[in-house]
Amino acid sequence: MLVPVTVTPVLFEQMNNVPPGTSPVVGPLCALVTLATVAGIMLKARGSIGLWAPVIGIVAGSLVAAAFGVYDTARVADAPWIGLPAAAWPAIHF
């Protein structure tokens, strides 16, 4: 219960973080579609499909965002997908 309470302020702050020129309704609409999808699947689905409710909800919200032109795929496409972490000797610095 502590995680939803902690994440709630971030959710409401990010809900209004839409690109300039986009309708301010898009953020709350994507959140509503995601929440409704997750709640509907968890309440109505039987078997193991209920375990996939968060993933299906995120996909549904992303599809709504893509329909309104808010979903930015450039950051995902430009991300380095294969790489090695920086090698360093573990130490404590005072």
Q: How far apart are CA 19 and CA 70, in angstroms?
A: 7
Give me the pLDDT at residue 42, please: 94
What pLDDT tens digit does each residue of the chain (94 aa) get?
A: 688 889 888 888 888 888 888 888 999 999 999 999 999 999 999 888 999 999 999 999 999 999 998 888 888 888 888 888 788 888 887 8
Identify the pLDDT of residue 84. Answer: 81
pTM of the model: 0.73
pLDDT at res. 1: 66
> Residue ranges of the domains in the chain?
24-71
Q: Which pLDDT score is estimated for 26?
A: 92
Which position has the token pair 């709504």?
A: 64
58 neighbors 13 (Cβ within 8 angstroms): no
Q: Quick one: pLDDT at residue 57?
A: 95
3-state SS string for the chain: CHHHHHHHHHHHHHHCCCCCCCCCCHHHHHHHHHHHHHHHHHHHCCHHHHHHHHHHHHHHHHHHHHHCCCCCCHHHHHCCCCCCCCCCCCCCCC
